[in-house]
Amino acid sequence: MNRIKKHFNKINIEYWAFRVFMAVMLFLPYRLVLFFTRRIAYIGFYILKGPREDALSSLSIAYPEKTEKEKRYIAKKSFKNTVTTFVEFAYSSKWSNEKLKKIIKTEGLDNLKKLIEKGKGVIVITGHIGNWEYSANISSILGLNPAFIVRALDNYRIDKYVSHWRTKRGAISINRKNGDLRAIFEALKENRIVGFLSDQNFSEGVFVYFFGQIACTAAGSIAMAMKTGSPIIFSYAKRNSDYTHTVVFSEEMKLELKETKEKTLLHNTQRYTKILEDIIRSNPEEWLWAHRRWNTYPGERPNALHYDKIDEY
């Protein structure tokens, strides 16, 4: 009982500390908060040893040719992007749709609308690039009925609070932890666009190449497309110099079928991973490097599908 009581006390303390922090932050002018938090992000780079080492380790894998100075520069900018995204996400919770329309521009929106007209829903592959929350925001504001798959926060009260921000404009949230495939099928059946954040380590995934190294990668978006026939598109956000953002919607990535389902799954997972890699390479400072992307090793999951052994399938 004492352990349970301590657990709930911890949850409540974290929750109210977060609420007080948010109330104070949102009371202050937006640009002022951005100014200070961006500088705090740089300080955080030096004092948060774990995330800093994770970022530099990931950059060493992805860019072995870069100097330490270059990698530290990218890592610091990545910290800044992550903190800025959080601040923007928090303030956007109280902004009107009209204001967000002025802040968030789109590119390639017709690509998405054409696929929605097919009536099979749209699988949107995306990643933690730029302000990744704005892709869902602008899709909701434009009436495109988005659903997105997220990992719930460890503190369920904070998760519920943050989830309210994400869904207040009409989007729906699907908890990845619950693994409820029915919710994804239902969303596609309702002709929603379903966002898959597919750029992080996924220990139950398949092994494909990412920045030249084998990485355990989520294959759910491809498996879902194979099962439902829903088209696939990419979306990501870019920062502009005038504090606005551009959310890009790519052309359709059509599945390429192979001799077996396993080869089809692996081949197309490798294709989408390479596309995400190319997007990240175009502006590496805006990707979330403080993540152990190569944390699951092939030897830990010998029965998983491996792209370097694709001929065996």
Backbone torsion region of residue 104, taken as left when φ is above 0, otherwise alpha when ψ lies between -120 and 50, otherwise beta: beta
DSSP code of residue 111: H
Structure tokens belonging to residue 51? 């995330």
Q: What pLDDT was estimated at residue 152? A: 82
- Of the chain, the percentage scoring pLDDT greater than 70 comes to 96
Q: 197: part of which helix (H) or strand (E)?
A: strand 193-197
d(C-alpha 194, C-alpha 126), whole Å = 10
CATH code, residues 2-312: 3.40.1130
Quickly state the pLDDT bin for 2 (edges 50, 70, 90). Answer: low
β-bridge mates for residue 288, sequence order: none
Query: Pick from 111, 200, 112: which is nearest to 151 by CA?
Result: 200
Q: Encode pLDDT of 26-56 as tens digits.
A: 999 999 999 999 999 999 999 999 999 999 9
Task: Give the pLDDT mean for 252-273.
Answer: 97
Task: Give the pLDDT mean for 115-144.
Answer: 95
Structure tokens belonging to residue 75? 């890592």
Residue labelled with tokens 């009581």:
5
Q: What pLDDT was estimated at residue 178? A: 59
**The dihedral of CA 11, 15, 21, 22: what is its sign?**
positive
Q: State CA 76 to chain mean position distance.
A: 19
Q: What pLDDT was estimated at residue 62? A: 97
Lowest mean pLDDT among 74-83, 147-156, 244-253: 147-156
CB atoms within 10 A of CB 197: 21
User: Which residues are CB-contacts of 131 (< 8 A; sequence separation ≥ 6)?
Assistant: 84, 85, 88, 89, 237, 239, 245
Q: What pLDDT was estimated at residue 163? A: 87
d(C-alpha 51, C-alpha 183), whole Å = 33
C-beta contacts of 54-59 below 8 A and 24+ residues apart: 54/289, 54/290, 54/291, 54/292, 55/79, 55/289, 55/290, 57/292, 58/289, 58/290, 58/291, 58/292, 58/293, 58/294, 59/284, 59/289
β-bridge mates for residue 196, sequence order: 125, 149
Contact yes or no for 223/265 (Cβ under 8 A): yes
d(C-alpha 1, C-alpha 209), whole Å = 47
d(C-alpha 254, C-alpha 106), whole Å = 22
DSSP code of residue 142: T
Lowest mean pLDDT among 83-87, 166-170, 191-195: 166-170
- Whether residue 119 is predicted with pLDDT greater than 70 in this model: the reply is yes
Which has more pLDDT, 132 or 1?
A: 132
- Whether residue 164 is predicted with pLDDT greater than 90 in this model: the reply is no
- Whether residue 301 is predicted with pLDDT greater than 70 in this model: the reply is yes
Q: What pLDDT was estimated at residue 166? A: 86
Instruction: Locate the domains of the chain by residue range.
Output: 2-312
Contact yes or no for 147/193 (Cβ under 8 A): yes
Query: Pick from 310, 162, 148: which is nearest to 220 by CA?
Result: 148
Contact yes or no for 239/225 (Cβ under 8 A): no
d(C-alpha 217, C-alpha 306), whole Å = 10
Quickly state the pLDDT bin for 180 (edges 50, 70, 90). Answer: low
Quickly state the pLDDT bin for 168 (edges 50, 70, 90). Answer: confident
DSSP alpha helix (H) spans, 48-132: 49-62, 68-92, 97-103, 109-116
Lowest mean pLDDT among 104-113, 176-185, 194-203, 218-227: 176-185
What order do you get walking across the sheet with 122-126 strand by strand? 104-107, 245-249, 232-239, 122-126, 193-197, 146-150, 172-175
Backbone torsion region of residue 147, taken as left when φ is above 0, otherwise alpha when ψ lies between -120 and 50, otherwise beta: beta
DSSP 3-state assignment of 188? helix
Q: What pLDDT was estimated at residue 8? A: 63
- Whether residue 7 is predicted with pLDDT greater than 80 in this model: the reply is no
Q: What pLDDT was estimated at residue 235? A: 97
Quickly state the pLDDT bin for 82 (edges 50, 70, 90). Answer: very high
